[in-house]
Amino acid sequence: MTWTSKHEIIKTIQVLVVGAGGIGCELLKNLAATGFRKVHVIDLDTIDISNLNRQFLFRKEHVSSSKAEIATKVVKQFCPDIDLTFEHGSIFDEKFNIDFFKSFEFVMNALDNKKARNHVNRMCLAANRPLIESGTSGFTGQVQVILRGRTECYECTTKETQKTFPGCTIRNTPSEHIHCTVWAKHVFNQLFGEIDIDDEVSPDMKAEGQNEAESEESANDSANEEPTPIGTRQWAENVKFDPAKVFDKLFLMDIEYLCRMEHLWNQRRRPKALSFSSASEDNGKAPVQFEQALKEATSIWPLSTATSVFSECVRALSAQVSAHPDLRLSFDKDVPLIMAFVAACANIRAQIFGIPTKSMFEIKAMAGNIVPAIAATNAMVAGMMVTEAMKLAHGLHELVQQSHVRLIPSIVGKVFYNETPFPPNPQCYVCSEQKEVIVYVNPSQMTVHGLCEKVLKNELNMLAPDVMDNASSRIIISSDGDTDDLLTKKLSEVSIEDGAILCCDDFQQDMTLRLFIRQQVDLTGDEFKVERTEQEKPKEPAEEKRKRKSGHEGDEPEVKKTKTDEAPEALQVINGNAMD
């Protein structure tokens, strides 16, 4: 086959790109330059000013516009003959169903969060379409080609906690606690440390619902007619670092401004602004004293305590900076005062966005483990993705490779290396023939709501699960809402005890799995443990004969720390709160 004929094939291939951010911008440019002419891109996010330093398709006048829309327009400017279409929406939308995925030859992921990656992985498996997965973390990155039945899928192995996060998510639309933790570190730097424009924490005052025409019009106005935005530190200095006023700026005024950006909340939960006075009262709960709160590092502070800690930290840290005008503090997770400030900020913001709060101990672990995004790494990974895409376009599935970008060159000076994809994990509950998961809970404390939201949706990444008790054939969770009256009940109250087997079905993902319930009495509330490695499963006869009684301590798993030369740790402990 000649190069010309190969190029003609590439022109006809239908490609789906999910994500138009850091990697997505580079990827769309590469696809257009390589000769792909039928591309569809999906992205829910809008452009934030912090994106401009590494997402080269966007300019200042594009701030607050759809990433997918602007990326499409800009790519068409330098490649007019490309049939590039876009959707400004969530990949979780029901319209992006299995038939939608089947309309493409393959899918390319340029996403920034694990939940969306898991979902696209499952949809591609269900539609039997190849998936080119990608990711970066600082100076390292990788590309993985996923072929159903031939290579491991995205969920065949346990993934490390994400360490790099998009600025627009941090500033405007956090969905996980780690987003709030990163934002809290930025607040610390803005108030007391070295100011970095990429660490700005307030919403962009020029971004409220402007369309492109409005942006161009405002850009043509005289600079003298526009007020100069005031920085967070200057604002705090103007109010003499008054804790109540700083609190209201961060958690009331800025949140109210965010709420007015209607385009952000079309498919997201709208945040609820908090004033200093209401947070201090917290339904009459008395705040724990500052010194005592620091001692309770493993406890989750109530809102009133977090507010009190915030106030004390602002007073103490601002006093240090005021005493030495040239002093710029740097984040150190081992300095109690600094860590307390970050923990308080993160938890207050989490409450505002409806995200479960965490202890200072947990936040400390997250805050010290964050890596910045690097534009060059995104570009290299996007290039490797197109290399694999060309193999798929020509049907050379046997030649696909898993590619990596190294932080440190190899002994021969290489920063890239490839390896043969691993085969599917026979124990994977997503792509294996027997989709089974063992979960340890305390049935007398975990609620049906906790099982649905924390285990099935958050941990196992199901979208709209329907759950049936295998022994009684009773539906305990319905995606249609027919069982909402059961959500507040404990598992034991709906006869789900040790040894129960639950059949869990997700129609949207075309996924069915069996959930084996085991009891562990030292778990509280909605805490649970998921067993990841192959273990002896409860047998059907025992399940049919089981007695609905409390379990015994002898049934509890022994959790041990693993050594580096042993198998991966079998159990993952997840902390949950009943009925968020």
Q: Do domains 3-159+374-419 and 436-574 have the same CATH topology?
A: no
Of the candidate ranges 47-51, 336-340, 403-407, the one whose mean pLDDT is the lowest: 47-51
Q: What is the DSSP string of 239-256?
A: TTT-HHHHHHIIIIIHHH
pLDDT in tens, 258-302: 998 888 888 888 999 999 999 988 766 667 788 888 888 888 999
Structure letter (DSSP) for residue 82:
-
pLDDT surpasses 60 at 228? no
The reply to whether the predicted model has a pTM over 0.75 is: no
pLDDT in tens, 473-516: 999 999 988 899 999 999 999 999 999 999 999 998 989 999 99
CA–CA distance from 508 to each of 455, 463, 505 (Å)? 18, 7, 9
Interhelix angle 177-192/303-323, nearest 10 degrees:
30
pLDDT in tens, 405-445: 988 888 888 899 999 999 999 889 899 888 889 999 999 99
Q: What is the DSSP string of 436-483?
A: EEEEEE-TTT-BHHHIIIIIIIIIS--SSEEEEETTT--EEE-TTSTT
Q: What is the pLDDT of residue 387?
A: 96
Mean predicted lDDT score pLDDT of the chain: 84
Cβ–Cβ < 8 Å for 497, 490: no
Q: What is the DSSP string of 330-360?
A: ---TTSHHHHHHHHHHHHHHHHHTT-----H
Q: What is the pLDDT of residue 532?
A: 61
DSSP 3-state of 109: strand
d(CA 520, CA 536): 17
Known catalytic residue at 259: no
d(CA 249, CA 252): 6
d(CA 401, CA 46): 33
Q: Which CATH architecture has domain 436-574?
A: Roll (3.10)
Cβ–Cβ < 8 Å for 345, 157: no
Q: Where are the domains of the chain?
A: 3-159+374-419, 167-216+229-367, 436-574
Instruction: Map tokens 């009133």 to a residue.
Output: 304
**Average pLDDT of the segment spanning 295-315:** 91
Cβ–Cβ < 8 Å for 141, 134: yes
d(CA 460, CA 94): 19
Q: What is the pLDDT of residue 263?
A: 82
The count of C-alpha atoms lying within 13 angstroms of the C-alpha of 326, restricted to the half-sphere facing its C-beta, is: 0
CA angle 5, 10, 14 (to 5 degrees): 145
Nearest to 404, CA basis, from 396, 415, 413, 390: 415
**Segments in 19-132 forming alpha helices (H):** 22-34, 67-78, 98-102, 114-127
Q: What is the pLDDT of residue 441?
A: 94
**Average pLDDT of the segment spanning 365-381:** 84
pLDDT in tens, 216-226: 444 444 334 44
Q: Which CATH architecture has domain 3-159+374-419?
A: 3-Layer(aba) Sandwich (3.40)
Nearest to 110, CA basis, from 71, 160, 158: 71
Q: How confident is the model at residue 234 (pLDDT cuts 50, 70, 90)?
A: confident
**Average pLDDT of the segment spanning 18-44:** 96
Cβ–Cβ < 8 Å for 107, 14: no
d(CA 553, CA 551): 7
Q: What is the pLDDT of residue 162?
A: 58
- Length of the chain equals 580
Active-site choice (168, 180, 452, 504): 168
**Edge-first strand listing for the sheet containing 14-18:** 83-87, 38-42, 14-18, 106-109, 131-137, 140-146, 402-405, 416-419
pLDDT surpasses 60 at 543? no
Nearest to 19, CA basis, from 54, 51, 44: 44
CA angle 95, 97, 98 (to 5 degrees): 160
Give the number of other CB atoms < 10 A from CB of residue 80.
7
Give the domain 167-216+229-367 fold. Arc Repressor Mutant, subunit A (1.10.10)
Cβ–Cβ < 8 Å for 450, 578: yes
Give the CA diameter of the chain: 80
Q: What is the pLDDT of residue 262?
A: 85
Q: What is the pLDDT of residue 204?
A: 53
- First CA to last CA across the chain, in angstroms? 59
Q: How confident is the model at residue 112 (pLDDT cuts 50, 70, 90)?
A: confident
CA–CA distance from 498 to each of 438, 444, 489, 541, 553 (Å)? 11, 10, 16, 14, 12
Amino acid making up residue 81: D
The count of C-alpha atoms lying within 13 angstroms of the C-alpha of 295, restricted to the half-sphere facing its C-beta, is: 5
Q: What is the pLDDT of residue 87?
A: 96
Nearest to 32, CA basis, from 87, 82, 85: 82
Cβ–Cβ < 8 Å for 314, 340: no
pLDDT in tens, 114-123: 889 999 999 9
Q: How confident is the model at residue 170 (pLDDT cuts 50, 70, 90)?
A: confident
